[in-house]
């Protein structure tokens, strides 16, 4: 069992054998947001260091509707449903919430949180390595073509300046890390699902990385990585992310909801909207890679179903 597994699962490394600790026992007196933030920062790994480092500056990007069109966890759940790992009724409910999200252009916290909880709970009993492999396939076949190129270009400017770029999302950290790796970003902060001996328990470490928990994760990461938050930037579409935006020296709104747009205007923050007239070109996945991902997905789905029956 790796140290990352232990951090995510809350295993004591004292030579006494695997022992899961409850969040309250590990961080007495700390809020769920603080625990979720600390767990996310502990699980975050540097995927792509910048070639010309500017060690004290960085940028933090929300994912859903900021970097990716729609809710990433819904796309992930749809991929699981295609592999018979998610029921049609569950997917239909998530689809309705996704339509609401797309039409309104803003998050309903209850809807998005319920969808994420459902998807995270559903992986209970599955091996972390199997779900990570599925995340790779589902990203390639159903998410890569939903990336806003305008937001990707914003991130690229930071990378070219030698700054690190981190995703910060309530999406599971495994999926968030794959998105970051595919796009050449530094890494990702995401919701940490508890695992024991390489298998998911269906519980979360500290809760979802949402709202104030994102700010807690960024603070913890800044301490670990030596970032000066006054020199850092943050990008989001939602007023739910104001704690994250107000934490850094250079906040910006991307495809903002009405509340965030109003706050950005009042504060003089930059506003980027890539939705108007579908101006943004979406990064396409090469056909050959997509075909390979689909073929791999079928094989993985069969294997998981056989294991579930066994």
In the chain, where the domains are located: 31-309
Q: Which residues contact 252 (CB under 8 A, 6 or more apart)?
A: 154, 233, 234, 235, 245, 264, 269, 270, 271, 272
- Amino acid 278: pLDDT: 45
Helix (H, G, I), strand (E, B) or coil at 268: coil
- Amino acid 126: pLDDT: 86
Question: Could you identify the residue written with the tokens 């339509």?
Answer: 99
Compute the Cα dihedral for 194, 198, 201, 202 and give only its sign: positive
Q: What is the mean pLDDT of residues 127-132?
A: 91
Q: Is the pLDDT of residue 263 over 60?
A: yes
User: Does domain 31-309 correspond to CATH entry 3.40.50.720?
Assistant: no
d(CA 108, CA 238): 10
Give 38's pLDDT tier (boundaries 50, 70, 90): confident
- Amino acid 265: pLDDT: 97
> CA angle, 72 as apex, 70 and 76 as ends, to 5°?
125
- Amino acid 77: pLDDT: 78
Q: What is the mean pLDDT of residues 134-149?
A: 92
Q: What is the mean pLDDT of residues 23-37?
A: 57
Query: Which is more confidently placed, 35 or 19?
Result: 35
- Amino acid 140: pLDDT: 92
Contact predicate 138/297, CB 8 Å? yes
- Amino acid 197: pLDDT: 92
Give 32's pLDDT tier (boundaries 50, 70, 90): low
Q: Is the pLDDT of residue 163 over 50?
A: yes
Q: Half-sphere exposure (CA, 13 Å, Cβ side) for 238?
A: 28
Q: If 0-12 CB within 10 Å is exposed, 13-18 middle and 19+ buried, where does residue 188 land?
A: buried
Q: Is the pLDDT of residue 51 over 90?
A: no
- Amino acid 290: pLDDT: 32
Give the pTM.
0.71
The residues carrying an active-site annotation are: 62, 64
- Amino acid 292: pLDDT: 30
Q: Is the pLDDT of residue 303 over 80?
A: no
Q: Characterize the bridge pairing of strands 193-196 and 199-204.
A: antiparallel
Q: What is the mean pLDDT of residues 274-281?
A: 58
Q: Which residues contact 111 (CB under 8 A, 6 or more apart)?
A: 97, 100, 101
Give 18's pLDDT tier (boundaries 50, 70, 90): very low
% of the chain exceeding 70 in pLDDT: 63
Query: Which is more confidently placed, 299 or 82?
Result: 82
Query: Which is more confidently placed, 234 or 16?
Result: 234
Q: Is the pLDDT of residue 224 over 60?
A: yes
Q: How far is CA 89 from the centre of its chain?
A: 24
Give 118's pLDDT tier (boundaries 50, 70, 90): low
Q: What is the mean pLDDT of residues 169-186?
A: 93
- Amino acid 254: pLDDT: 97
% of the chain exceeding 90 in pLDDT: 44
Q: Is the pLDDT of residue 41 over 90?
A: no
**Across all residues in the chain, what is the average pLDDT?**
75
């Amino acid at each position: 069992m790796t140290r990352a597994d232990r951090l995510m699962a809350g295993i004591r490394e004292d030579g006494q054998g695997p022992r899961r600790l409850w969040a309250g026992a590990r961080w007495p007196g700390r809020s769920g947001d603080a625990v979720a933030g600390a767990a996310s920062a502990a699980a975050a790994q540097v995927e792509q260091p910048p070639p010309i480092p500017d060690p004290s500056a960085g940028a933090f990007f929300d994912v859903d509707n900021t970097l990716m069109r729609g809710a990433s966890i819904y796309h992930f759940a749809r991929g699981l449903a295609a592999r018979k790992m998610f029921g049609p009724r569950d997917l239909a409910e998530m689809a309705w919430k996704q339509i609401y999200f797309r039409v309104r252009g803003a998050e309903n916290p209850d809807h998005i949180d319920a969808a994420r909880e459902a998807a995270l709970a559903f992986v209970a009993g599955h091996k972390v390595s199997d779900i990570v492999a599925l995340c790779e396939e589902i990203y390639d076949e159903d998410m890569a073509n939903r990336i806003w190129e305008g937001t990707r270009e914003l991130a690229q400017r930071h990378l070219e300046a030698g700054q690190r770029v981190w995703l910060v999302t309530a999406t599971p950290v495994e999926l968030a890390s794959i998105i970051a790796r595919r796009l050449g970003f530094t890494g990702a902060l995401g919701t940490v699902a508890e695992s024991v001996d390489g298998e998911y328990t269906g519980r979360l470490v500290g809760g979802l990385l949402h709202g104030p928990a994102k700010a807690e994760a960024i603070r913890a990461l800044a301490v670990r990585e030596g970032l000066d938050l006054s020199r850092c930037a943050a990008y989001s579409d939602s007023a739910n992310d104001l704690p994250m935006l107000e934490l850094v020296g250079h906040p910006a709104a991307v495809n903002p909801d009405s509340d965030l747009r109003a706050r950005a205007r009042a504060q003089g923050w930059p506003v980027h909207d890539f939705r108007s007239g579908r101006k943004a070109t979406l990064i396409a996945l090469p056909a050959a890679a997509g075909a390979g991902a689909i073929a791999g997905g079928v094989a993985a789905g069969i294997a998981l179903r056989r294991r579930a029956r066994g």
